[in-house]
Chain A
Amino acid sequence: MKYLDEYRDGAVVRALAQRIAQIVTRPWVLMEICGGQTHSILRYGLQELLPKEIELVHGPGCPVCVTPAGILDRAIDLALRPGFTLVTYGDMLRVPGSVMDLQSARARGADVRMVYSPLDAVRIARAHPDRTVVFLAVGFETTAPANAMAIYQAEREGLRNFALLASHVLVPPAIRALLSSPDCRVQGFIAPGHVCTITGCADYEQLVRDFHVPVVVGGFEPVDLVQAILTLVTLLEAGHAGLANEYTRSVTARGNPEAQRVVAEVFAVADQTWRGMGEICGSGLRIRERYAQYDASRFFDVALTEPPAPAVCISAQILQGLRKPTDCAAFGTACRPESPIGAPMVSTEGACSAYYRYRRAAAQTAVEAAR
Chain B
Amino acid sequence: MCLAIPGQIVSIAEERGQRMAQVDFGGVTQPVSLHLTPQAAIGDYVLVHVGFAISRIDAEEAAHTWRTLQEMDLLANELPANVEGAQP
Q: How far is the CB of A11 from chain B (nearest CB, A)?
A: 4
A258 touches B2 (CB 8 A): no
**Which residues of chain B have C-beta atoms less than 8 A from A347's C-beta?**
1
> Could you say which residues of chain B place their CB within 8 Å of the CB of A198?
54
Give the docked Cα–Cα distance between A16 and B19 (Å): 41
> Which residues from B are CB-within-8-Å of A139?
1-2, 50
Q: How many residues of A are in contact with the other chain, CB < 8 A?
A: 54
Chain B residues near A249 (CB-CB < 8 A): 57-59, 61-62, 65
Report the separation of the CA atoms of residues A143 and B54 in the bound assembly, to the nearest whole angstrom.
9
Residues of chain B lying within 8 A (CB to CB) of residue A256: 36-37, 54-55
B79 within 8 Å of A by Cβ?
Answer: yes
Instruction: Give, as a whole number of angstroms, the nearest-CB distance from B9 to chain A.
Output: 13
Asked whether B57 lies within 8 Å of A12 as measured between CB atoms, the reply is: no
Supposing A145-B54, A258-B35 touch, asked if A2 and B45 sit within 8 A by C-beta, the answer is yes
By beta carbon, the residue of chain A nearest B74 is: A15
In the complex, chain B residues whose CB is within 8 Å of the CB of A111: none
Among the 9-residue stretches A44-52, A56-64, A96-104, the one with 4 or more Cβ atoms under 8 Å from chain B is A56-64
- Report the minimum CB–CB distance from B17 to chain A (whole Å): 6
The reply to whether B78 and A262 form a contact with Cβ atoms under 8 Å apart is no
Contact with B along A1-43 (1 / 0, CB 8 A): 1111010010110011001000000000000001110000000
Q: A1-B6, A248-B64 are in contact. Are A142 and B49 (CB under 8 A)?
A: yes
* Cβ–Cβ contact A197 & B78, under 8 A: no
A227 to B8, alpha carbons, bound, how many Å? 25
Q: How many residue-residue contacts, CB under 8 A, span A and B?
A: 147
Cβ-defined contact, B51 with A61, below 8 A: no
CB of A206 within 8 Å of the partner chain: no
A91 lies within 8 A of chain B by Cβ:
yes
Q: A118 at interface (Cβ–Cβ under 8 A)?
A: yes
| Residues in A neighbouring B18, C-beta threshold 8 A | 119, 153
For residues 18 through 70 of chain B, which have their beta carbon under 8 Å from a beta carbon of chain A? 18, 25-26, 33, 35-38, 45, 47, 49-52, 54-55, 57-59, 61-62, 64-66, 69
Instruction: Check A356 for interface membership: any CB of B closer than 8 A.
Output: no
- Tell me whether B74 and A19 are in contact (CB under 8 A): yes
Chain A contacts of B79 at CB under 8 A? Answer: 9, 11-12
Which of A118, A194, A251, A258 interacts with B37 by CB under 8 Å? A258
**A246 surroundings in chain B (CB, below 8 A):** 65
Known interface pairs A2-B84, A35-B2, A249-B57. Does A145 touch B51 (Cβ–Cβ under 8 Å)? no
B-contacting residues, A140-173, CB 8 Å:
140, 142-143, 145-146, 149, 153, 156-157
Given contacts A19-B72, A35-B1, A256-B36, is CB(A146)–CB(B84) below 8 Å?
Answer: no
CB atoms of B6 and A3 under 8 A apart: yes
A300 an interface residue at 8 Å Cβ cutoff?
Answer: no
Known: A153-B16, A198-B54, A258-B38. A146 touches B2 (CB 8 A): no
CB distance A16 to B36 under 8 Å? no
Min CB distance B44 to A, Å, is 11
Query: Could you give 6 example pairs across A and B, Cβ below 8 Å?
Result: A1-B6, A2-B45, A61-B2, A139-B50, A142-B49, A250-B47
